[in-house]
Amino acid sequence: MPNPSLLVLTAIGALAGVLSGLFGIGGGVIVVPALMYLAGFDQHLATGTSLAVLLPPVGVGAALEYYRQGQVHVKAAAVIAVTLLLCAWLAAQVATRVSGPYLRLMFAIFVIGLGMSLAYDALRQVR
């Protein structure tokens, strides 16, 4: 099982918190790819850990099943959850001061970039 540094986990939580506060996104869009690319988690471990991060509002049953299968990194989930909470609050304060069209443009650019990155990586692995 990977053992990512506290700094990497905190950075993932901060990124997910900021983007959650700005755009209302987080778990599957941010935390899963970040755990895979930055922390070296495989898809299942990243998904299970992301569900544990989101445990209170969503996915209790799914996260428990991933945990039962040994696919939740408890330390990573706890660190990311706390950091995400703090950074989402801070980013929400910023987002409420940015006009709607600019916020929408920022989100569109982010999603397009993420989609292109995921597609490129997947195409490299398919060959």
Residue 45 maps to a domain: yes
Tokens 């930055």, located at residue: 38
Residues contacting residue 111 through CB under 8 Å, at least 6 positions apart: none
Residues contacting residue 37 through CB under 8 Å, at least 6 positions apart: none
Q: Count Cα atoms within 13 angstroms, Cβ side, for 93.
A: 5
pLDDT higher than 80, residue 27: no
Residue 72 maps to a domain: yes
Residue 24 maps to a domain: yes
Q: How far apart are CA 14 and CA 87, in angstroms?
A: 5
pLDDT higher than 90, residue 12: yes
pLDDT at 74: 95
Q: How far apart are CA 80 and CA 30, in angstroms?
A: 11
Domain count, the chain: 1
pLDDT digits (tens, 9 = 90+) for 45-95: 998 898 888 866 666 777 888 899 999 999 999 999 899 889 989 998 988
Share of the chain above pLDDT 70, in %: 95
pLDDT higher than 90, residue 19: no
Q: How far apart are CA 73 and CA 115, in angstroms?
A: 26
Residue 121 maps to a domain: no
Q: Which domain holds residue 66?
A: 6-97
Q: Count Cα atoms within 13 angstroms, Cβ side, for 19.
A: 21
Quickly state the pLDDT bin for 120 (edges 50, 70, 90): very high
Residue 48 maps to a domain: yes
Residue 57 maps to a domain: yes
Query: What sign results for the dihedral spanned by CA atoms 82, 87, 93, 98?
Result: negative
CB-CB contact of 62 with 32 (8 Å):
no
Quickly state the pLDDT bin for 111 (edges 50, 70, 90): confident
Residue 112 maps to a domain: no
Residue 76 maps to a domain: yes
